[in-house]
Amino acid sequence: MIRHLFKLIWNRKKSNFLLITEIFICFLVLFGVLSLVVYNVRNYTKPLGFEHENVWLLTMRPSTDSSALNHQNLEQVLQRLHAFPEIEHVSLSSSNAPFAFSQMNNNLSYGNVKDLMADFYEVEDDYDEVMQLQVREGRWFAPQDNASHHEPIVINKALQQQLFGEEDALGKVIPVNDSTNYQVVGITDYFRAGSEFAAEGPAFFTRINLQKNPNSFWNEVLIRVKPGTGIDFEEKMVKQLSAIGKDWAMEVSTLEKMRQNKAKLTLVPMIALGLVCAFLILNVALGLFGVLWYNINSRHGEIGLRRALGAASGQIYRQFIGEVLVLATLGLLLGVVFAVQLPLLQVFEIESVVYTIAIVGAVAIIYLLTVICAFYPSRQAAAIHPAVALHEE
């Protein structure tokens, strides 16, 4: 039966070549879209490592160039924020707050690992309370770090695994330059500040010490407010802070709104690619349906002769279904050969399981599509009466 199907396909190789090519291209597009979807869904299901609800980001832009004045006013702003009963915790932050369109990174080296790129975040001692971070080993920053000979850092689990491997990271000293060394004091489980759909990468936190850096100025503050705090308090807070930082431009945004904006950057391309893929699948479906319909109309004599020789309607039905499945298999084989190169070559440094799921999903969808498209035309072929078909011939 299989040999007979291949003969039939080979005899119509010119008309079937375009269909096989169409299935091949459809598989590649579907594989690409599914890889993107699986990658983002897997990331979305992983924990962020922090709680962004009820957290506001206050951005201050001083108009003066006097760093001393800025520093003095900054301390007054922080004191006023701590005094509001609606605010639970406050922390200065570098510009790359969670879900912000900003990134800061640095190269770290330890042992045999050289120049590992890691994101770093400058934060205050209350940052863990603001973001509800969970330190699974060691501790968070504390006033006792003022007397430290090295600059304390807290790292995430991804950085620990990539930089230290199986070694215990706590207490390890990481040389940065001739005057600065980092010392690991704590390790968090997860921290993905870029987006819900972003993969977790190596990251670490450094400590902001206003007393040690009197000439430095941080213009962003993360604020955890009490649940239910709304825009009325926001207006009140900005008004009072503007009286301290005269001529300062102040802007307040919620991390929830920032999260939604970041999510759109991932969802919109996925939806657009999904629509393109759906349009291509529809074209393939119409092509399959049209080819089968044409084959039935042009092969009435063959069908009638087989029925006259004793072939059951089920055999005719399975023959046409089989032809379409063989065509789909030929196109899929070409596509799979190409697709398996991506996990083998570790393209884009994405986990192999993402490509595997995408390949299996694309193959399953193509086969399901071919069976659905072949169902009605094949039943029509099986229902042809031998006498009518032979009379037409």
Element (H, E) at 116: strand 113-123
Q: What are the residue ranges spanned by the domains of the chain?
A: 2-46+261-392, 63-247
* CA gap 208, 218 in Å, rounded: 9
Query: Are 368 and 284 a contacting pair, CB within 8 Å?
Result: no
Query: Are 187 and 137 a contacting pair, CB within 8 Å?
Result: yes
Question: Please, is 218 exposed, middle or buried when counting C-beta atoms within 10 Å of its C-beta (0-12, 13-18, 19+)?
Answer: buried
Query: Are 90 and 58 a contacting pair, CB within 8 Å?
Result: no
At 150 the pLDDT is 92
358 vs 381 pLDDT, higher one: 358
Above 90 in pLDDT, residue 11? Answer: no
Mean pLDDT for 260-278 is 92
Q: Which residues contact 148 (CB under 8 A, 6 or more apart)?
A: 183
Mean pLDDT for 196-223 is 89
At 238 the pLDDT is 93
pLDDT, tens digit (0-9, with 9 covering 90-100), for 95-134: 999 999 999 999 999 999 999 999 999 999 999 999 999 9
pLDDT bracket for residue 304 (50, 70, 90) = low
Window from 20-29, 68-77, 140-149 with minimum mean pLDDT = 68-77
Helices (H), 140-254: 157-164, 231-244
Mean pLDDT for 280-307 is 73
Largest Cα span, the chain: 102
Q: What is the pTM of this model?
A: 0.85
pLDDT, tens digit (0-9, with 9 covering 90-100), for 27-73: 999 999 999 999 999 999 999 999 999 999 999 988 765 555 577 88
Closest by CA position to 41, among listed 194, 189, 199: 199
At 370 the pLDDT is 87
Q: What is the pLDDT of the chain when averaged over all its residues?
A: 86
At 186 the pLDDT is 97
What 3-state class would DSSP assign to 282? helix
Above 80 in pLDDT, residue 360? Answer: yes
Residue 137, strand partner residues? 187
Query: Are 93 and 128 a contacting pair, CB within 8 Å?
Result: no
Element (H, E) at 267: helix 255-298
State how far the alpha carbon of 173 is from the alpha carbons of 72, 165, 170, 176, in Å. Answer: 33, 15, 9, 9
pLDDT bracket for residue 264 (50, 70, 90) = very high
Q: Which residues contact 39 (CB under 8 A, 6 or more apart)?
A: 199, 350, 354
At 291 the pLDDT is 75
What percent of the chain stands above pLDDT 70? 86
At 246 the pLDDT is 81
pLDDT bracket for residue 149 (50, 70, 90) = confident
172 vs 300 pLDDT, higher one: 172
pLDDT, tens digit (0-9, with 9 covering 90-100), for 211-258: 887 777 788 999 999 999 988 999 999 999 999 888 888 999 999 999
**CA 87 from chain center: how many Å?**
33
77 vs 217 pLDDT, higher one: 77
Mean pLDDT for 84-101 is 95
Above 80 in pLDDT, residue 18? Answer: no
320 vs 363 pLDDT, higher one: 363
Residue 389 has a CB neighbour count (10 Å cut-off) of 20
pLDDT bracket for residue 137 (50, 70, 90) = very high
Amino acid making up residue 348: F
Query: Are 35 and 374 a contacting pair, CB within 8 Å?
Result: no
Token pair in block for residue 132: 């509800």
Above 60 in pLDDT, residue 8? Answer: no
At 98 the pLDDT is 96
